Structure 1
Amino acid sequence: MPTNRQVLFAISLISFALIGFALYLQHAMEMRPCPLCVIQRYLFLAVGVCALAGAIGGKIRAGAILALLAAIGGLVTVGKHLYVIANPGFSCGIDPMETMLNKIPTAEYLPWLFRADGLCEGATDAILGLAIPQWSAVWFVVLTVLLGWVLLRTSRTGRA
């Protein structure tokens, strides 16, 4: 059975790989990210960084709690994204959220990663039968379950 530390390293690796895949879709497949996609990138990054910091620093519980909060934020965001796709008249296209996101320093200094210039309701291209936001939902659920499992194990054993 993997240790909590190994699970946090795996969660971190998964999160960073998902961001890498999003960059592939953006730059190689020319799929422009929308504001909700960019928020999900921030949250996957937060999950990965918190899990990695917890694993490296030996603060398993703290890292897992912070990563879990980010994963739950991701579930909320992707839930809104799926709602937008299911209700085409409800769009988050060019709106104040996009303008605000694109003015955050990370978007200004790393536009290739954090610039939002797509339409949320247009994120329907399927990969293996699911749209990108649906895959995002699947992965946020997986990460949430894994982080919950780590927290349950740490509370039962009282150690990392």
Structure 2
Amino acid sequence: MALATPRTLFLLAFLGCLALMGGALYLEHAVGLNPCPMCIVQRVFVILFALVCLIAAIHGPARTGQRVYAVLALLFAAGGAGTAARQVWLQSVPADQLEACLPSLEFMMEALPLQEIVRLVFHGTADCAEVTWTLFGLSVPEWSLLAFIGMVVFALFQLLRRR
């Protein structure tokens, strides 16, 4: 049985990311869930992963190019998985042990230096630990972590596969 071409798999991964972003935008605009700063960071990692996959699908690279795209995709997927894992952990911490909620990301971008914004966003606060919606008993960050794990597996498969 022949495996799908790398170009096809990168295109399917891109379409999967479109579905993830569609779901995130549905939850935000139709359900009314406001994303916390860590959720926004995870969205950025999904978009970066999707862009790498789209470029790889359009380019249709040879073996070396396929590996370069796979490494880039792996880096973005790992960054997203780390962010999602941190948020899942924050959800397990008692609320009284968390810092107060952060101001909006727009305000922080205007008022704080970049390194302080990064520190605050990745440290996480009570607004990132609140579970406001679940599906099959899993919160949005838990679903996000599962998606990023899938992205990591995909990138590793693309990196290690033989023609």
Counterpart secondary structure, 1:2:
coil
In structure 1, the partner of 2:43 is 41
In the superposition, the TM-score normalised over structure 1's length comes to 0.79
In structure 2, the partner of 1:77 is 83
Identity rate, percent = 33
Match of 1:10 among 9, 12, 15: 12
5+ residue gaps, structure 1: 104-117
**Which deviates more from structure 2 when the two are superposed, residues 7-16 or residues 92-101?**
92-101
In the superposition, the TM-score normalised over structure 2's length comes to 0.78
Aligned pairs (5 A) from 1:102-117: none
| CA radius of gyration, larger in | 2
In structure 1, the partner of 2:159 is 151
In structure 2, the partner of 1:24 is 26
Q: How many residues align?
A: 141
Q: CA deviation at 1:61?
A: 2.2
Confirm or deny that 1:65 pairs with 2:71.
Answer: yes
CA RMSD of aligned residues (A): 2.2
Confirm or deny that 1:125 pairs with 2:133.
Answer: yes
In structure 1, the partner of 2:115 is none
Is residue 84–residue 145 contact of structure 2 (8 Å, CA) maintained in 1? Answer: yes
Counterpart secondary structure, 2:54:
helix
Quickly say closer, same or farther: Cα 1:64–1:100, change in 2 above 3 A: farther
Q: CA deviation at 1:98?
A: 6.9
Counterpart secondary structure, 1:49:
helix
Cα deviation, 1:89-114, whole Å, max 9, x if unaligned, reads: 324731596744588xxxxxxxxxxx
Quickly say closer, same or farther: Cα 1:32–1:97, change in 2 above 3 A: closer
Amino acid at match of 2:144: S
Counterpart secondary structure, 2:34:
coil
Query: Which segments of structure 1 move beyond 3 Å, counting only runs of 4 or more?
Result: 95-103
1:53 and 1:16 map into 2 onto residues whose CA distance is 14
Cα deviation, 1:33-61, whole Å, max 9, x if unaligned, reads: 00000000000000100011012112322
Amino acid at match of 1:61: R
Quickly say closer, same or farther: Cα 1:35–1:102, change in 2 above 3 A: farther
**Which deviates more from structure 2 when the two are superposed, residues 126-135 or residues 21-30?**
126-135
Amino acid at match of 1:28: A
Q: CA deviation at 1:140?
A: 0.3
